[in-house]
Structure 1
Amino acid sequence: MSAQDLTEDQLHDKLISEWEKRRYVPKHGDPALPPQLSELHDKSTEDVMKELNRLPFFMTELDETDGEGGENETLEALRTLVYDGEPHEIATNFKNQGNDAYKGKQYKVAIEYYTKGLEVECDDKSINTALLSNRAACNLELKNYRKCIEDCKKVLSIDESNIKACYRAGRAFFAVERYEEAQQILEYGLTVDPSNKDVKAVLDKVVAKQKSIEEARLKKERELEHKKMVQSILDNSIKLRHYTIIKSSAPADLLEDAKIRLEDEKDYESQLIFPAMILYPTTDEFDFIAEVGELTSPLEILEMVLNRPREWFEDPKHKDFTVKKLECYMETETGGLIKVGKKISINNALMNEKPKAPLFDNGLRLYVVPKTQSADWLSKWSKEAALAKRQM
């Protein structure tokens, strides 16, 4: 009677019968467990798992010992089998194992297999080419671009028409920004296979990137040339006006990045624009104006800075701070002071040869003092102290 003719109950009874026949029943003097399991009876779960891990089929991590300091003979026997056969057979076996690992995206494992296959040094060029090419593919995935390039070079030295090596080397060269080499290898690849879409796609990216870099280079070059031209016009405009610029040993923070510019950067005759420090030495205060034209007068500057809330003027120290009651002074090249008329333009004072009033740190420095206190302030002015604050 076949298994198909048995009822479910009959089949169940037959399986139990078979189990009873095979079940281990200890005889008098035999161990309670089968010999294969008796030695594990008193061991912990952890110890049992360690024992199983020494069996290659159950290994979750490499264990090269026998558990007592000796070699794992089963593992060594399997290792010997791996290298059993002709060189091309061994290399092919490693290649196939590498391919399986590659399909599972285990790229590092795949590289190990391909490398072992190459170490066999078989004489079959097609096998060696495949091992190198596949290892290059793994290194490309792992972003080991230089290793990928080296393997691709070796492939092409064996098979100069290997389009995959051209493609992978092109991608790797592109990734490490070696665009000329990428273009060369990809263009070479298209001489081998003119219709290869993958190679064309990477080549298009390389050419586009090179074009972008060249455009950026030309733009930067134009900007630099323009900057030089503007600076040249500015320098000449300052010389033509006979302006002097003095640097302080410790310039005010607000003037560290101060720049003079022309109202029209291409016209040396247009108005010069610069920042201005308005100093009130009798109250130890100051105002900063980011941009003032050279044709501006001290009067216009005072009207600008004195446009303040009424509460500011109610402070006793600002009692005489009105346009009519204030005087303006500029420091001279020799460290002294000159009084500046409030209605004349700043450029008149800057162009005057004697006494010469310079710009300081690319900006205007204007001292503003109440008439009632000017004599006292002037008497305390020290040329030596003024000169000591300048950059030597």
Structure 2
Amino acid sequence: MPPAMASVKERTADELLQELNRTPLFMTTLDETDGEGGENVELEALKALVFEGTRAEVAANFREQANELAKIKNWVDAKEFYTKALAALKTPLQQVDSEAGAADMSAVEVDEEAERKKERELEEACYVNRALCNLKRQNYRSCNLDCAATLHLNPLNIKAWYRSASACLALNKIAEAQDACERGLAIDEKNIALKTLSTKIIKRKDHLNVLERKRRERDECLRAEELTLKKALKNRNIATRSTTKAPEMEDAAIKLADPVDSSSTLTLPAIFLYPVHLQSDFVKSFQETESLADHLSYIFPLPWDQDQEYTTANVECYMETSSGGLIKAGKKLPLARVLGSGKVEVVDQLVKIQVIPKQKVPGWLDEFKKKRVST
């Protein structure tokens, strides 16, 4: 082994790997130290190379790296390097303090006007290309901001108009997309990309207009149905009220057989409550022409009624009034007649019917009265 490598014998494999990881060519992780808590001189030297030269040269370096990443559609990293290039263009110029430094600067005089022009061109290119990264990543607002920055530098930048129009189209901002597209075509009326995009915008506009027309028609239809239902309830003298604690009933609701004909058959959701046994049955569609007995006839016998107390002949039905009292509901009367008395109020579109075995009615009524007094 050569004398220069003699020290290798004294190190373990892990120590050798750590040493290699501090050498930029062999790094697997970014190690900022030289192994003794100081700077990694080789790494710092490589970093410094990135920032060598004028602002335009540093920005151009970042832009080239961004362009390479954009070519392979690595939009995230490409955007990051375009951002670094823009940041480099905004860094303050280094001031020359020493006489020697001033002499060097005079020896290698920089054409400031040409440098500013180069910086402006780089800034424009970085903004418009970062706009592309944002467009591809669906960051449409950021894309528009970058396009605006580009157009501030150069109002004739066709790519900026195209990308701004594309971002606006993606957001369904049709007027803005059309405006951007038209401005671009005013600069280059033969631009194929803008002409194709203009066609897409027109198609999207037509599609959205169709959707909007259907939405308006649907809303008008719903309003007409709502007014018809209100008229139907008023004609039948059925009082209704809504609360903030409406129960979940899926699609069950008060409906007309013909939503635009107030004279058609009305149906209402109903719930049969058995308070003595804390049970209930839900009827999704109770027609106004049907009676309580019509539904009780198929609901009975109840699976949990061990003593067979619940039969159509052996129960009484009660409904709460709008004042908080009770009325006895005739089991053979049509629902429309019971509700049309004006005493009962349908709350949250649900008809509530209390079903009590006859022999337990007195006790239940006493309990109901006590609760009413206490509240």
Instruction: Please point out which of 58, 64, 75 is paired with 1:96.
Output: 64
CA offset at residue 238 of structure 1? Answer: 2.0
Instruction: Please point out which of 279, 282, 285 is paired with 1:291.
Output: 285
- Name the residue aligned to 2:336: 347
Does the CA-based 8 Å contact 1:258-1:363 persist in structure 2? Answer: no
1:264 aligned to 2:233? no
- Name the residue aligned to 2:229: 234
Using a 3 Å threshold, how does the CA distance of structure 1 residues 62 and 104 change in structure 2: closer, same or farther?
A: farther
CA distance in 2, matches of 1:248, 1:156: 55
CA offset at residue 235 of structure 1? Answer: 1.9
CA offset at residue 163 of structure 1? Answer: 1.9
Bigger mean CA deviation after superposition, 188-197 or 360-369: 360-369
Tell me the amino acid that sits aligned with residue 160 of structure 1. Answer: P
CA offset at residue 241 of structure 1? Answer: 2.4
CA distance in 2, matches of 1:279, 1:329: 10
Does the CA-based 8 Å contact 2:276-2:364 persist in structure 1? Answer: no
CA offset at residue 274 of structure 1? Answer: 1.7
Tell me the amino acid that sits aligned with residue 33 of structure 1. Answer: P
CA distance in 2, matches of 1:388, 1:256: 31
Name which one, 1 or 2, has greater alpha-carbon Rg. 1
Does the CA-based 8 Å contact 1:255-1:361 persist in structure 2? Answer: no
Q: Deviations over 1:5-37 (max 9, x none)?
A: xxxxxxxxxxxxxxxxxxxxxxxxxxx6143x3
Tell me the amino acid that sits aligned with residue 236 of structure 1. Answer: K
Does the CA-based 8 Å contact 1:107-1:142 persist in structure 2? Answer: yes
CA offset at residue 180 of structure 1? Answer: 4.3
- Name the residue aligned to 1:33: 2
1:162 aligned to 2:157? yes
CA distance in 1, matches of 2:364, 2:21: 95
Does the CA-based 8 Å contact 1:298-1:328 persist in structure 2? Answer: no
CA distance in 1, matches of 2:214, 2:202: 18
Instruction: Please point out which of 260, 267, 271 is paired with 1:273.
Output: 267
1:321 aligned to 2:311? yes
Secondary structure of the structure 1 residue equivalent to 2:258:
coil
Q: What is the RMSD computed on CA atoms of the aligned residues?
A: 4.6
CA offset at residue 75 of structure 1? Answer: 4.5
CA distance in 2, matches of 1:276, 1:238: 16
- Name the residue aligned to 2:365: 381
Q: How many residues align?
A: 346
Report sequence identity in percent: 31
- Uncovered stretches (5+) of structure 1, i.e. residues with no partner: 1-31
CA distance in 2, matches of 1:362, 1:340: 21
CA distance in 1, matches of 2:183, 2:299: 72
Does the CA-based 8 Å contact 1:283-1:317 persist in structure 2? Answer: no
- Uncovered stretches (5+) of structure 2, i.e. residues with no partner: 91-114
1:151 aligned to 2:146? yes
Describe how 1:35-184 pairs up with structure 2 within 5 A: 35=4, 37-85=5-53, 88-107=56-75, 109-111=77-79, 113-118=81-86, 119-120=88-89, 122-123=115-116, 124=118, 125-175=120-170, 178=173, 180-184=175-179
Q: Deviations over 1:348-377 (max 9, x none)?
A: 344347xx455566455556677xx46x73
CA offset at residue 182 of structure 1? Answer: 3.6
CA offset at residue 234 of structure 1? Answer: 1.9
CA distance in 2, matches of 1:195, 1:44: 69
Tell me the amino acid that sits aligned with residue 308 of structure 2. Answer: K
CA distance in 1, matches of 2:29, 2:128: 29
TM-score by length of 1: 0.66
- Name the residue aligned to 2:99: none
Instruction: Please point out which of 184, 187, 193 is paired with 1:192.
Output: 187
CA distance in 2, matches of 1:117, 1:283: 77
Using a 3 Å threshold, how does the CA distance of structure 1 residues 321 and 95 change in structure 2: closer, same or farther?
A: closer
Does the CA-based 8 Å contact 1:132-1:154 persist in structure 2? Answer: yes
Secondary structure of the structure 1 residue equivalent to 2:308:
helix
CA distance in 1, matches of 2:242, 2:172: 45
